[in-house]
């Protein structure tokens, strides 16, 4: 292993460890990520930790203060609203483009839904949920579209894991996820690309409504009727 390869491996290992602990809430929102302390905990130098923190900032999981200190990012209602708008722009288009390919071969989505039925924890359910949507974006064949969606993945995972971990009706959320994904799969296999696009738009709109119902103390910016109608027409 070359020196550069070894350094890259250490940075990636630090990145995976920090990301895992953030998504599992072992590092809670607002926690200080001091380079020296993190390096000692991970038994690496400060350089790979610094690189990992920059990568986590790009993923939306870490933010830096004006003084350069790194903290676990606290996601706020306006962050969710931005994620919602981007999902609404990307995923319906992805479903339309993916429909012809998935009509021929939908085994990956079928396997995902079978695993989702057996999911035993909110974390597992969240990962499988996002895997399902990512597979559709990848099947679209549009690499830029898929890359844009993947850039949102870890923020989405943090949001969903946070909500599902505290949701009182976890069993219902599980059942709704499976049923909605089965409906999307049937549409992708049996109906037109335009129908798949419409259903995915409806699915993403319902995601926002689910947030409001699941976490009523979180106040989201309201969608005006005009904005909603424009989204339905687009």
Average of per-residue pLDDT values in the chain: 87
For the record, the structure tokens of 15 come out as 């990145």
Of 94, 123, 124, residue with least CA distance to 112 = 124
Identify the domain boundary among 72, 104, 128. Answer: 72
Looking at per-residue confidence, does 199 or 77 come out higher? 199
Residues 39 and 127 in one domain: no
Residues 63 and 112 in one domain: no
User: What does the pLDDT look like over 16-61, one tens digit per residue?
Assistant: 999 999 999 999 999 999 999 999 999 999 999 999 999 999 999 9
Residues 157 and 82 in one domain: yes
Looking at per-residue confidence, does 7 or 76 come out higher? 76
- Enclosing domain of residue 131: 77-233
Residue 214 CA to residue 218 CA, distance in Å, equals 9
Q: What pLDDT score does 109 carry?
A: 98
| Largest Cα span, the chain | 59
Of 50, 37, 56, 38, residue with least CA distance to 11 = 50
- Which residues are CB-neighbours of 52 under 8 A, at least 6 positions away? 11, 14, 15, 18
Torsion of the alpha carbons at 178, 184, 186 and 187, rounded to the nearest 10: 160
At 62, which CATH number?
A: 1.10.10.10
At 104, which CATH number?
A: 1.20.120.530
For the record, the structure tokens of 159 come out as 């949001």
Residues 227 and 113 in one domain: yes
Residues 119 and 67 in one domain: no
Residues 47 and 115 in one domain: no
Q: What pLDDT score does 164 carry?
A: 67
Identify the domain boundary among 56, 72, 88. Answer: 72
Per-residue pLDDT band for 169 (boundaries 50, 70, 90) equals: low
Residues 8 and 92 in one domain: no
Q: What pLDDT score does 168 carry?
A: 54
Residues 124 and 191 in one domain: yes
Q: What pLDDT score does 130 carry?
A: 96
- Asked if residue 205 lies in contact with residue 231, where contact means CB atoms within 8 angstroms, the answer is yes
Q: What pLDDT score does 21 carry?
A: 95
Residues 128 and 38 in one domain: no
Best mean pLDDT range from 80-84, 91-95, 208-212: 91-95
Looking at per-residue confidence, does 3 or 199 come out higher? 199
- Cα 130–Cα 55–Cα 166 angle in degrees, nearest 5: 40
- Residue entry with tokens 């706020």: 76
pLDDT value at 6 more than 90: no
Residues 66 and 83 in one domain: no
Comparing 49-58, 113-122, 218-227, which segment has the lowest mean pLDDT? 218-227
Looking at per-residue confidence, does 136 or 234 come out higher? 136
DSSP structure class, residue 169: T
pLDDT value at 231 more than 60: no
Considering Cα of 108, then 153, then 120, then 211, what sign does the dihedral take?
negative
Identify the domain boundary among 72, 89, 114. Answer: 72
Residues 65 and 81 in one domain: no
Q: How many domains does the chain have?
A: 2
pLDDT value at 215 more than 60: no
Residues 83 and 187 in one domain: yes
């Amino acid at each position: 292993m070359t020196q550069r390869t070894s350094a890259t491996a250490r940075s990636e290992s630090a990145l995976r460890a920090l990301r895992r602990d953030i998504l599992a809430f072992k590092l809670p929102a607002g926690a200080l990520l001091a380079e020296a302390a993190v390096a000692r905990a991970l038994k690496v130098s400060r350089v790979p930790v610094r690189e990992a923190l920059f990568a986590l900032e790009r993923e939306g999981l870490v933010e830096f203060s004006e003084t350069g200190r790194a903290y676990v990012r606290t996601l706020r209602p306006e962050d969710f609203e931005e994620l919602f708008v981007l999902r609404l722009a990307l995923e319906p288009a992805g479903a339309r483009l993916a429909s012809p390919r998935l009509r021929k071969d939908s085994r990956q989505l079928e396997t995902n839904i079978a695993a989702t039925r057996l999911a035993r924890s909110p974390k597992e359910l969240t990962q499988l949920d996002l895997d399902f949507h990512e597979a559709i974006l990848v099947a679209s064949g549009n690499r830029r579209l898929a890359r844009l969606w993947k850039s949102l993945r870890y923020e989405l995972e943090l949001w969903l894991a946070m909500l599902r971990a505290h949701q009182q009706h976890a069993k219902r959320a599980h059942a709704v996820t499976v049923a909605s994904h089965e409906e999307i799969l049937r549409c992708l296999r049996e109906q037109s690309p335009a129908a798949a696009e419409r259903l995915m738009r409806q699915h993403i709109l319902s995601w926002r409504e689910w947030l409001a119902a699941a976490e009523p103390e979180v106040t989201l910016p309201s969608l005006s009727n005009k904005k909603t109608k424009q989204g339905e027409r687009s």
